[in-house]
Structure formats: C-alpha cells, structure tokens
Amino acid sequence: MHTSALVLFSGGQDSTTCLAWALSRYERVETVAFDYGQRHRIELDARLNVVRAIREGFPQWAAKLGEDHLLDASVLGAVSDTALTRETAIAMQANGLPNTFVPGRNLLFMTLAAALAYRRGVQVLVTGVCETDFSGYPDCRDDTMKAMQVALSLGMDRRFLIETPLMWIDKAATWTLARTLGGAPLVDLIVEHSHTCYLGERSQRHAWGYGCGQCPACQLRAQGFARFTGAPG
C-alpha cells in the first residue's frame, strides 16, 4: 500500500488536478517543479498561488501537503531551441511536432523526480501527461511513461509507480474530475489560480481563467471548459 506521492506540479490546470487527485488518495503529498528558463516566470508564480489557495480552502488536504521542491533544469535551455525556452513564435515544424516540443523534457523531469522521490522515500510519481488532447509530444505517451517506470525502477533498484490520472481523458473530463475531487471550490480555484497560456498572458480573465485565448494551450483549455459547462464552444 502506497501512502505517499510526489506530484510533478507546474501550476497548470492538469497538474493542479493531479495534485488534488493525489491529495484525495495519499497520506503525504509532495510537489516538484522544474525551472528551465521558461519564457514566463508566471508559471512558477501560479504554482505557489495554487498551493496557497489549496492550503486555505481545503483544510483536509492542507494537512497532507508536504514539502515543495523546485529543481533547476536550466540545462534544457542550453541544449534545445524551442518556443518554450526562447522568444520564438509557436508554430508547427516539418516533423509534425509543434516547436513547443522540448526534446527529452519529460524524460529528464521524470528522472529528476524519481531521484528526488528516492531520497524522500516516496514510491509514487504523479504526472498530468495525457494522450487524449495529444499535442504530439512523444514523451507524454502512455508507452513512454510505462517504459520510464521500468527504467527508473531498474536503474535505481527501487520500485516506482508512475500514476497518470489524465492519460485517457480530455480537457472537459479533466474539469469534471476536478469537480468530483473538490467540488465547485476546486473548479473555481483552478480557474482563478492555475496557469496554462504559453504566452504568459494574465491580463484577460475569461470564464475558463486567464490567458491570451489564442495560443494552442488556451484554446484547448477554453474548449474543454465550454464542453464541461455545456456552453457553446
């Protein structure tokens, strides 16, 4: 029986839902994020706001919420040239992947998270990767995560479990899952505090939260929210 989990928590809609999912299941939940020269520090600020709002609004979860970790993964910026690490317009590339794809990013994150979990005595890693609203990121695939679970468990001689609660659900179902886990207060918290927009835009508040409304991340989030609430998308 696993009692503790480490959630890869970026402060977005998906990872906030995963954090709530973990808090509803495990006795102790820690969080980790990676600073890799994101174009916008807003993401890293959002996660602190989400954690604070959970502590204030969900006392039954606050007691389980353990240490938060921020690891420097800036080496990614040195080895890749993508729209997430540089001031480049978001576009599709010739290979069919958006230029927001950072090669090896999730592989590196899972490895760092497992090393941290090893030290903290945590066996379960929770990540919000998803094949359903698939951006084409090969390191978000279920097969990739299963292979990582085997590789990390063998390579560290410690049995790790990688949980991916969002793998087979779409963005509308992710909002529904949030409502199931924490009711309307959790949905409101995610709308208000989580951040998804690739452009780091937070001046405009929509029904689904803050964002430019135009980038691929905003469009996915807005369309999912519209389906969730039954409003015209």
16/44 Cα distance (integer angstroms) = 13
**Using rule CB under 5 A, residue 197 touches Zn ion:** yes
- Smallest separation, CB 124 to Zn ion (Å): 31
Give phi and psi for 124, each to the nearest 5.
-105, 130
CA atoms within 13 A of residue 94's CA, in its CB half-sphere: 0
DSSP secondary structure, 57-99, as one string: H-HHHHTTEEEEEEEE-THHHHH---TTTSS----B-TTSSBT
Of the residues 5, 211, 220, 225, which one makes contact with Zn ion according to CB under 5 A: 211
**Using rule CB under 5 A, residue 212 touches Zn ion:** yes
**Using rule CB under 5 A, residue 156 touches Zn ion:** no
133/127 Cα distance (integer angstroms) = 15
- Smallest separation, CB 221 to Zn ion (Å): 8
**Using rule CB under 5 A, residue 224 touches Zn ion:** no
Of the residues 7, 124, 190, 218, which one makes contact with Zn ion according to CB under 5 A: 218
For 200-222, letters b (16+ CB in 10 Å) and e give bbbeeeeebbbbbeebbbbebbb
Count the site residues for Zn ion by CB under 5 A: 6
**Using rule CB under 5 A, residue 215 touches Zn ion:** yes
Q: Which region among 18-26, 111-119, 125-133, 203-211 touches Zn ion (by CB under 5 A)?
A: 203-211
- Smallest separation, CB 144 to Zn ion (Å): 26
Site string for Zn ion, 99-138 (x = CB under 5 A): ----------------------------------------
**Using rule CB under 5 A, residue 12 touches Zn ion:** no
For Zn ion, give the closer residue by CB, 125 or 218. Answer: 218
Question: Rounded to the nearest 10 degrees, how much is the dihedral formed by the CA atoms of 31, 37, 41, 43?
Answer: -40
Q: Which helix or strand (DSSP H or E) is residue 28 part of?
A: strand 28-35
List contacts with Zn ion (CB under 5 A).
197, 199, 211-212, 215, 218
